[in-house]
Amino acid sequence: MIKDIHRPHVEQVGFAITIGESEQDEMYTLYLINLREETLEQVLITTRGYGEIDKKEKITSTLRHHFDSIDGEVAVKVELIPKEALALNHEFWLSFYIGKELYDKRFTFLSGAFHDENLIIIPHVEKKGILII
């Protein structure tokens, strides 16, 4: 039965979107942040954006990224996000192993989240952005 499947809780792993280097920079960067001491193995990330831009429904392509391993306490660049795409919601599915345990979790950045009051300095990246753990 599905209720009998053990699904460990994902902790101390998340995503950050950092702002561009200058006001003119049109690209933002998505990072996977591993705040754990353990190495993440066989990491699979699926990304997509969805929502409305100019009152028209938009859905981005679904992108998939794979990393054999990600060391503990590091940030790894995953992809670039065009500035205009920040008007969309962004959904990131993360799956990885620690030992023989499979972890997975969905993270969602809501549209309009990029306001100065929401920005922090992202650990292991040292740039301003938004972090979801």
Structure tokens at 57: 């429904």
DSSP category for residue 1: -
Whether residue 43 is predicted with pLDDT greater than 60 in this model: the reply is: yes
At residue 32, the 3 state secondary structure works out as: strand
The phi and psi torsions of 85 (rounded to 5 degrees) equal -75, -10
Whether residue 1 is predicted with pLDDT greater than 60 in this model: the reply is: no
At residue 52, the 3 state secondary structure works out as: strand
Overall pTM > 0.75:
yes
Q: Which domain holds residue 63?
A: 2-132
> Are 38 and 13 in contact, with CB atoms under 8 Å apart?
no
- CATH, residue 125: 2.60.40
Total domains, the chain: 1
> Are 116 and 128 in contact, with CB atoms under 8 Å apart?
no
